[in-house]
């Protein structure tokens, strides 16, 4: 089971993503932003960090990287793709997922262990979770505020495509101002998932707040076997 | 040589954290008359020769497809640079 992890100029978490794939039992494959081939991988992770300095807008230049010319049609054809943090931003800029990310409403960088609720446990990347399960993984970002117009938000909710929501105490605020507390979403087919928090940092005892991140990677390995 | 000026602003319904940071800092310098600040982006695209209708059309397309993200931003204007935009005009201020 080959899971490609794309390295963009500025990617930080590509090594952790490859390590997570390996720990979950898959074979990680290094993909390069400047290469227009996906090398026959069975799934792809767009990792966190930065890309091309995030000039213009986060993910805006990465969208036009040669590797994306192969990835976008493959994702539309059903290839499982997970975008984490900057990878989520790239998926939005590529229009594989709706909406966009802007700066955190409080304008400060955030880095903390973040509880999330799994709202959709049927996607290629979340099938090992229970619906409604609460998990805790790392959240670290500057531009993490998910925004979209009301019609798009209603459509996402109506179609069950809000995949993760920030767990917010009654009367509290979510960590970055994201509309409707959205932390992650999926496409109609459920093969493309993007989220702000980082599952790849929570796959190993002794590192990160939990082992909850591992289920993203075990989910996709099963979805590929069952496909 | 000609220039095309493209102005992009966040949509009015989208919170502008950068503009807010500026708005909060202005009163500290004694500027109390400004109730809100929105910060945008200006691109200056240079071409060899005149800015023709074709050049403007290409600039509009670039503005819609790459320079702005229509989900969160509006292209406010795409126009040939006027003498008022040049640095010589600024020195008159």
Closest partner residue to B17 (CB to CB) among A60, A64, A103 is A103
Substitution target in B6, B71, B74 with the highest count of A β-carbons within 10 Å is B71
The answer to whether residue B92 scores a pLDDT higher than 60 is no
- Rounded to whole angstroms, the Cα distance separating B74 from B78 reads 11
Substitution target in A147, A177, A185 with the highest count of B β-carbons within 10 Å is A147
Say yes or no: ipTM exceeds 0.90.
Answer: no
Structure tokens that stand for A75 in this block: 């994702």
For A2-226, CATH gives: 3.40.50.880
A90–chain B Cβ distance below 8 A for any pair: no
Structure tokens that stand for A73 in this block: 């049609």
∠ CA A179-A181-A182, nearest 5°, is 80
Q: Are A4 and A43 in contact (CB under 8 A)?
A: yes
Closest partner residue to A147 (CB to CB) among B14, B18, B21 is B14
Residues A19-41 have pLDDT tens digits of 999 999 999 999 999 999 999 99
Domains and CATH numbers, chain B: 2-90 (3.30.1280.10)
Q: How confident is the model at residue B87 (pLDDT cuts 50, 70, 90)?
A: low
A144–chain B Cβ distance below 8 A for any pair: no
Can you give the pTM of this predicted structure? 0.90
């Amino acid at each position: 089971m080959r899971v490609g992890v794309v390295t963009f100029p500025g990617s930080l978490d590509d090594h952790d993503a490859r390590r997570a794939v390996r720990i979950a039992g898959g074979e990680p494959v290094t993909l390069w932003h400047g290469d227009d081939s996906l090398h026959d991988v069975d799934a792809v992770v767009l990792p966190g960090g930065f890309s091309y300095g995030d000039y213009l807008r986060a993910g805006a230049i990465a969208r036009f990287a040669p590797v994306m010319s192969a990835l976008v049609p493959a994702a539309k054809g059903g290839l499982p793709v997970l975008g984490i943090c900057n990878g989520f931003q790239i998926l939005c800029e590529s229009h594989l997922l709706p909406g966009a990310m802007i700066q955190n409403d409080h304008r400060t960088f955030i880095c903390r262990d973040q509880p999330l609720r799994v709202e959709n446990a049927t996607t290629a990347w979340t099938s090992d979770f229970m619906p409604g399960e609460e998990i805790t993984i790392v959240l670290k970002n500057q531009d993490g505020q998910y925004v979209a117009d009301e019609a798009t938000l209603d459509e996402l909710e109506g179609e069950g495509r809000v995949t993760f929501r920030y767990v917010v105490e009654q009367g509290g605020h979510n960590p970055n101002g994201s509309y409707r507390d959205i932390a992650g979403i999926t496409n109609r087919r459920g093969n493309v998932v993007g989220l702000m928090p980082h599952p790849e940092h929570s796959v190993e005892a002794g590192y990160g707040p939990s082992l909850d991140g591992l289920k993203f990677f075990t989910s996709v390995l099963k979805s590929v076997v069952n496909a | 040589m000609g220039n095309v000026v493209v102005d992009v602003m966040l949509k009015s319904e989208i919170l502008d954290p950068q503009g807010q940071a500026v708005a909060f800092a202005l009163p500290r310098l004694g500027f109390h008359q400004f109730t809100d600040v929105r910060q945008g982006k200006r691109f200056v695209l240079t071409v060899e020769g005149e800015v023709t209708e074709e050049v403007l059309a290409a600039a509009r397309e670039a503005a819609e497809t790459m320079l702005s993200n229509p989900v969160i931003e509006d292209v406010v204007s795409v126009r040939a640079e006027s003498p008022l935009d040049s640095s010589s005009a600024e020195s008159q201020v």
